[in-house]
Structure 1
Amino acid sequence: MTHTVTTGEVLMDLRGVRMSFTGAGGEPLQVLDQVDLQLREGEIVALLGRSGSGKSTILRIIAGLLAPTDGHVDYRGTPLTGSNPGAALVFQSFALMPWLSVQDNVELGLAARGIAPADRHRRALAAIDRIGLDGFETAYPKELSGGMRQRVGFARALVLEPDLLLMDEPFSALDVLTAENLRTELVNLWATTDFPTKCICIVTHNIEEAVLLADRVVVLGANPGHIIAEVGVDQPRPRNRRAPGFAALVDHIYGLLTGRDTEIATATPDSATPFATPLPDASVGGIAGLLELVWGSHGRADLPEVADELNFELDDLLPLVDAAALLGFLTVDSGDVILTNVGARIVNADIQGSKRIFADQARRRAPLVRTICSALIGSAEGSVRADFVLDLLRRGFSDEDARRQLELAIDWGRYGELYDYDTDSGRITVDPAADLSADR
């Protein structure tokens, strides 16, 4: 099921692309590693992955808004330097100028290219008509619904008649019905013979959206971003979510995102570091809720069905799965989550029992929790400054991510009664009930 769809001429060719940024401590933070990607005429390509997989960074490199740290980026066989002349970008947040009318917003790109006023006026009206906003030319963004504002974003991109239409999660800020309507209209536009764009590349974290729209789904792993697989979608359009082939593709991609090649750890060796295995962004309550749901499904649940039942997106659900797998409460098999023996024990334990089980698993299997426990054991006073831990984390994380890692570690440690945190003093202290020296 995993293969690459080839169609027409190669428009974009990314080879060995790496991207790093400078972190808060001056250390390089690698965002992308060895990305090889081609975009061809006649295809819609979805870049799919969780937060931290570098989807938007890849899109901005293709647009020429970012230059990679290493590697080659070619547009139509020529190295890309600066803004991509054949690409137009549609943003998640609409990015409209509130003081400009619909007509003027759509004309912005044409004006930047020096198109004469009469010509850009004519082309803008045609683009507005194409995306179904005729009659709203003189309206301002504040007068429009979210779906209509995104239509303006589409028109502003399409009026440039780009080879490449780049879309950065264009439907995620919309309600479910509006998003579904715009997806359908995008597919209908793509099917018309006079549609000027030769390739669409869309960033998403919604697996169903990727399978609905794309001819090829590029599945990305995170930390740093890298390509796990490319999955061809051979189903005819319009696509039916209820079709067996559709469901099989969704299951397959869930399996790729939760398989051994991703950041879900089925076992964490003692040598794992907080940088190599960061804590997934999941609360204790969220983990417990997922385990109870799997227990209620007789110990095994289908991830797409769980996501659908909870109305969760990929970025909502997978951190909970990651955390439960990291702690040894469940395993993942081809898109299914399976409760382990220790997972079943914690679901059926009383409150104090569940705390003890959680503490044992977190101290053994969560590297940052283990690191804090080790620091507390080595401290004469059984206490360390939180800023000390934060400074260490900044060596491998951005400032925002370092703070979130520390918050998660404190949350997990508090629940397991391993240690406590005093906001006033800024110190992490051994919980009086904990015996960190015990053999766990």
Structure 2
Amino acid sequence: MQEAIIRAEAVEKYYAQPSENRIQVISPTNLSIVAGEIVALLGPSGSGKSTLLRMLAGLSAPSAGQVYWHERPIASTEVNVSIVFQSFALFPWLTVLENVEAPLKARGIEASERRRQSLKILDTVGLDGFQAAYPKELSGGMRQRVGFARALVVEPEVLFMDEPFSALDVLTAENLRSELLELWENNTIPTRSIFIVTHNIEEAVLLADRIIVLGRNPGHVRTDFKVGLPHPRDRKAPAFTQLVDYIYKVLTQPDAQPPELPQTPAGKLSRAQRPPSYQMLPHARPGGIAGLLELLIDHNGKDDIYRLADDLAFEIDDLLPIVDAAQLLGFLTVTEGDAAITSSGAEYANSEILRQKQLFRTAAVENVLLLRQIVRALEAKSDGTVHEEFFHDVLDEQFSEEETLRQLETAINWGRYAELFDFDASRHRFILPAKPQHDAADEEEMDA
């Protein structure tokens, strides 16, 4: 077995709470990075991709477990890694050359040597002639090239990249991916392994020798496999599209067991491993759900999620919450990356606003535990009101403070739309309406 450059052994990340419970961000995870591989890490928002990257790079200590650098604890040894960030993270008051020299200067390299190394790497990444320019004078693609040069000038053994192309336009990102792959395959860049966090499935399949997909709540490895496709890779090849569809299936069916993964051993689960009491509500608005369903109606009721995102010029991370919300409500199903509208979803998309509210209300109460409990609590109270803090405390046992607030915001948005309840923000109280504002009789009268 090839020796790992970086090896994570049962690493976890969690945050203690005043009670005995804790917010688990990353569940116990084993992971290794070996020489000669580009590793892509995929996962939905909130799955802990960047948190895991920071632990592997030695920037953040795990709450439990250990990260090893060449089999030595990473916290007690000198590591040779660099990170390319999404936001370029350049010093605006320094020239291109000075930005690239900065990490060498921090390491105490003499001026003449750091200039020689910096000019060499600038030439390698195609920035020869721009040494005296300032970041504000460069395009987004050129600024990211400076970020690459600054990361590579220290000759890192492992290059970490945190969504490095997501802030760029489509053509610039495609060009930089191709250039990065060319530098890697020709052994032009001085690094032995690349670890890239991305939300772009095609990007992962285009670049990576190995792909890891995380699940969330808490973050955990759902599948970890090698990509057996030779470079350069053809997006239209059946093997490529099948792999993309497989990853979509893993991402969009979080409760399904990917066939490549071993079965979870039977036995009693720890608290951190138990299924959550509450679903994590996707942060999507009813209007966005209705819009997605109407688009699927126009596409004969079924379409590939990736193609749909591409047609809408959406990032997949922007579309997935809407897909997840529609799936949670029973308005569509997702199979191998294809979203298909259900009969209730078609009725919802084709109905007038009052009927849509009624259908949404029924689906929300049937499928969303939090909304169902809010309604029941309101109905049980003589004054028909419940303080927000009650549900905040319940959710806080399962989610972080930030996510708890987002869950409540989404629940309030859905509940108001469905006329399940109102919410008085000044008093922080849920309020049960005196009576449903639109009942079946009203709708029959309107239809007549």
> Is this a same-fold pair by TM over 0.5?
yes
Aligned counterpart, 1:401 = 403
Are 1:63 and 1:84, in contact at CA under 8 Å, matched by a contact in 2? no
Say whether the 8 Å CA contact 2:12–2:63 is kept in structure 1: yes
Letter in 1 for 2:357: K
- Which has the bigger relative contact order, CA under 8 A and spacing at least 6? 1
1:32-431 mapped onto 2 (5 Å cutoff): 32-81=26-75, 85-261=79-255, 276-431=278-433
CA distance in structure 2 between the partners assigned to 1:344 and 1:259 by the alignment: 21
- Cα distance 1:83–1:335, how it changes in 2: closer, same or farther (>3 A)? farther
Partners of 1:390 and 1:406 within 8 A in 2? yes
Give me the whole-angstrom Cα distance separating, in 2, the residues matched to 1:137 and 1:199. 27
The answer to whether the 8 Å contact 2:40/2:195 transfers is yes
Q: Give the match's secondary structure for 1:81.
A: helix
8 A contact 1:27–1:395 mirrored in 2: yes
- Unaligned stretches of 5+ residues in structure 1: 1-5, 264-271, 436-440
Larger CA deviation: 406-415 vs 349-358: 349-358
Count matched residues.
Answer: 421
Q: CA deviation at 1:366?
A: 0.9
Q: Distance in 1 between matches of 2:16 and 2:277?
A: 16
Contact 2:278 2:370 in 1 (8 A): no
Return the alpha-carbon distance in structure 1 between the equivalents of residues 85 and 11 of structure 2: 23
In structure 2, how many angstroms separate the alpha carbons of the residues matched to 1:262 and 1:69?
A: 28
| TM-aligned CA deviation for residue 193 of structure 1 | 3.0
Q: CA RMSD in A?
A: 2.3
* Conserved 8 A contact 2:68-2:74: yes
Structure 1 residues 20-29 or 172-181, which shifts more? Answer: 20-29
Name the counterpart of 2:266: none
Separation of aligned partners in 2, 1:282 and 1:370: 18
1:12 and 1:159 map into 2 onto residues whose CA distance is 21
Distance 1:67 1:134, change over 3 A: same
Identity percentage of aligned residues:
52
Q: Does the residue aligned with 2:212 lie in a helix, a strand or coil?
A: strand
Q: Give the Cα separation in 1 of the matches to 2:191 and 2:4.
A: 14
> 1:185 deviation in Å?
0.8
2:400 and 2:217 mapped to 1: Cα distance? Answer: 12
| Alpha-carbon contact 1:358-1:416 (below 8 Å) kept | yes
1:14 and 2:8 correspond? yes
Deviation at 1:416, TM superposition (A): 0.8
TM-score for both structures, normalised by structure 2: 0.88
Q: What is the SS of the residue equivalent to 2:75?
A: coil
Structure-2 change in CA distance of 1:197 and 1:366 (3 Å): same
Report deviation, 1:288. 1.2
TM-score by length of 1: 0.90
Q: Distance in 1 between matches of 2:396 and 2:330?
A: 27
Find the aligned partners of 1:166 and 1:151 in 2 and give their Cα distance.
15
Distance 1:104 1:233 in 2: 38
Give me the whole-angstrom Cα distance separating, in 2, the residues matched to 1:377 and 1:157: 59
Residue identity in the other structure for 2:152? L
Q: 32-41 or 158-167: which moved more?
A: 32-41
Residues 250-280 of structure 1 show CA distances to partners (whole Å, capped at 9, x for unaligned) of 11110111225369xxxxxxxx998531211
